[in-house]
Chain A
Amino acid sequence: MITQRFQELVTTTAFKKGIPHMRITYTPHPITDRPADLCREYVAGNDPLTDRPMLEEIYAGLTKKVSAEDGKGGFLKREPRPRLLPPDTPDHLMEYFHEQGFTDGNPIILPTEEKVAEMLKATSHEPDEWVGQMRPSPPHEAWYYTVEMVAVNAVMAGAEPEYFPVILAIASKGVTSLFSSTSSFARMVVVNGPVIKEIGMNTGIGALSPVNRANSSIGRCWTLISKNLGGSGKPGETYLASQGNQLSYNNLCFPENEDGLPAGWDPFHVQKGFDRSESVVSIFSGWSINDIAWYSPLPIHEVIRGWLEHFFSFGTRQATLILDPIVAADVASNGHPTKEAFARFLADNTGTPGWLYWSENPNALKQAEEGVEPYAGWLKKGKGAVVPVSRYKGRRRNNANFMASQDNNEPTTSIEIVVTGGGTNTFWSGGDFGYVGSASVDYWR
């Protein structure tokens, strides 16, 4: 049984799982948070899609004779995948690409064999070498892809050939940028190492804005890869994000401003075990970013601490700070000699808003009401008072990175710190992004 909103999802998934005629009964949507009286009406009523009594349909699904064809094994037929598409005019092909969902809705560069061949010159890897597999979310099937297939999408995104090893590194992680969940995920990719300057990525003013070709097209390419090589992004079938996420157009693709790091603060890839001389991409997953443009008499590290304490979103147990270089310098000069030390300070000195803590921990609330310490003492200060339990200590399994392969080098807190920007003001960003993993760019040169 499933709610009617997911008809397309469940029928296509049943096909891909090898049961094309799975028997399905639908309920009105949604059923979550609905009172018993209403649920009783639903059950006594009809399947909203077939208009037949729901209980009778369930019974029929369990007893109706299975056809000879549905009782057989074997393989289901899939459309063949031609390497080249049928010839057509550029205008028609552009429309065809849009209609097929091959684009992000914006015009693309048509991937002729000549342009793809130029892209392929930027890597020593063979065109038919496997790069990886990708799926919209764990229940979905994975699609597979080669170096050449990634090059096709790189051309479409408007990437220059010298960006290609960076794009291959992102593709090699097998993480879709369009994760299929009814919550509206976003992804982020941070570039580190010499490749930043080699390909002219922007680490300065507007590093997070659409003002640099490399930042823009590499980030866009991840979206096209996710759609075309990872089978993601088809609304209702392989993409269920209720509102969607604007960050997915570019997937927050930016390089760290390594020259702007305070003394003692390592580049992000070095924190994750890579050599400083290596070029690396690092993948993050989350939902949202806050831009904090605010003057305060407090030192910036205290403002960040206060923001973290009260920050709330779906990914409430993890955070990534994107600090401007002059913010990082202020923080470092206030007694935080490394990124790790600052993250530890934040984890050790942030509590949880009372409304959030007590709603997430009903057993603790029960014990508090029964006078059990330390809960009773916390509750005595009021249900809205901050509870001295950090949300950011240690690694937690969370929705942001589940089933996306987690690399080693686990952080001791769930707070990550990256530095970028042009130093025009003491502003910074932060959001609910968690680290997923990194990949070498140099491997793909």
Chain B
Amino acid sequence: MKTKSVFIPVVILAACFVTSLGWAGDEGKVVVMNPQGIKPEIRKIPMATRPTTLDGKTVYIVDTKYPNTKPFVNELLAALKAKYPKTTWVLREKFAGYMDDDPNLWKEIKEKGAGAIVLPGH
């Protein structure tokens, strides 16, 4: 009797402890909630068909105007012109800052260009 009367409160105490921790069951494991939010769905953008050659084509080089990167932009343009002279390389500065969109430029490239290189920052 004595053993049983001690055992019962111990079991009750253990059950309370387990419940307070969100104990999952007999394996001493805990169930916790997912802390992450909901990520949006991603709609694929089909990649444009590529021309087999750029000879006779126009390719835009889009300068995003990151501070103090002009020397790189100019050297890239010069090197592309020298290596691929049959292609027309058009350098254009993007509107406003590097984080701003420029839908007019994208429209022009779609209409007149065979491709575009968007340049880096930093």
Contact = CB atoms under 8 A, between A and B. Distances in A.
A55 B52 contact: no
B31 interface: yes
Nearest to A62: B115
A231 interface: yes
B52 to A, nearest CB: 6
Given A3-B120, A40-B79, A63-B51, A81 B30 contact: no
A2 B72 CA distance: 12
Interface string B7-34: 0000000000001111011011111111
Given A83-B33, A142-B40, A3 B119 contact: no
Contacts of B99: 138-139, 402-403
A75 interface: yes
A215 B71 CA distance: 49
Interface string A22-35: 10010101111111
A105 interface: no
Interface string B45-57: 1111111111000
Given A32-B122, A58-B117, A72 B39 contact: no
Instruction: Please report whether the interface of chain B is mostly helix, strand, loop or mixed according to DSSP.
Output: loop
Contact of B33 (A3, A64, A112, A138): A112
Which bucket holds chain B's interface residue count?
35 or more
B104 interface: no
A102 B27 contact: no
Across the A-B interface, give the 10 residue pairs with the lowest CB-CB distance, nearest first.
A112-B22, A229-B37, A87-B29, A145-B37, A143-B37, A87-B24, A76-B42, A2-B120, A62-B115, A39-B75
Interface of A: 1-3, 5-6, 15-22, 25, 27, 29-36, 39-40, 42-44, 55, 58-59, 62-66, 70-76, 78, 81-85, 87-90, 93, 97, 102, 110-116, 134, 138-139, 141-145, 148-149, 152-153, 156, 182, 224, 228-231, 402-403
Given A40-B79, A90-B21, A112-B33, 15 more contacts: A1-B117, A1-B118, A18-B43, A32-B67, A35-B71, A39-B74, A42-B75, A43-B79, A73-B45, A75-B42, A81-B39, A84-B33, A90-B30, A112-B21, A115-B22
